[in-house]
Amino acid sequence: MIIKNHRSSGYSPFVTFTLLSADVETPNGKERIAVYIRRAKVPVWSFAEVIDPTFNQPLSLMVKEFSAKISALLFNHKISDSKVEELIAKTSKDEYVRQAAISSLGILKITE
């Protein structure tokens, strides 16, 4: 796992790039699983404000996405098309939640 961060000035956002990848042995050979999350936050009062949105939340999402990808790869776990449609209908206007939902569709390799 790699966590890189960047901030150019005291008025710019603190940006983290969190990456986790692994090669998984499957019956079809080695397959790479990768998760990448980018988050940013401008601290207003103190730097403690950036911990949850730029470190804790991405790590939590990363564990969930990585687990889902392993489950799909090794055990062929998937959800039904109707459940995917239901999730799309509930997609939040919140940017981070919306991006996570869209990413989840990618995890499931839904091309439609």
For residue 17, pLDDT over 90 is answered with yes
- What is the model's pLDDT at position 80? 81
- What is the model's pLDDT at position 112? 66
Query: What are the tens digits of pLDDT across the range 50-82?
Result: 999 999 999 998 998 898 888 888 888 887 888
Mean pLDDT across the stretch 34-60? 90
Domains of the chain by residue range: 2-77
Tokens of 78: 């998937």
Mean pLDDT across the stretch 4-15? 91
Mean pLDDT across the stretch 26-54? 90
16's CB contacts (< 8 A; 6+ apart) are 3, 4, 5, 38, 39, 40, 54, 55, 58
- What is the model's pLDDT at position 16? 94
How large a percentage of the chain has pLDDT more than 70?
94
Mean pLDDT across the stretch 23-29? 90
Please give the C-alpha separations between residue 66 and each of 24, 39, 57, 81, in angstroms, as whole numbers: 11, 17, 14, 21
pTM score, whole prediction: 0.68
Selected residue with higher pLDDT from 47 and 112: 47
Please give the C-alpha separations between residue 33 and each of 1, 38, 65, 73, 75, in angstroms, as whole numbers: 12, 17, 10, 9, 14
Element (H, E) at 2: strand 2-6
According to DSSP, residue 112 is labeled -
DSSP assignment of 62-102 equals: HHHHHHHHHHHHHH-----HHHHHHHHHT--SSHHHHHHHH
- What is the model's pLDDT at position 79? 79
Rg, Å, the chain Cα set: 16
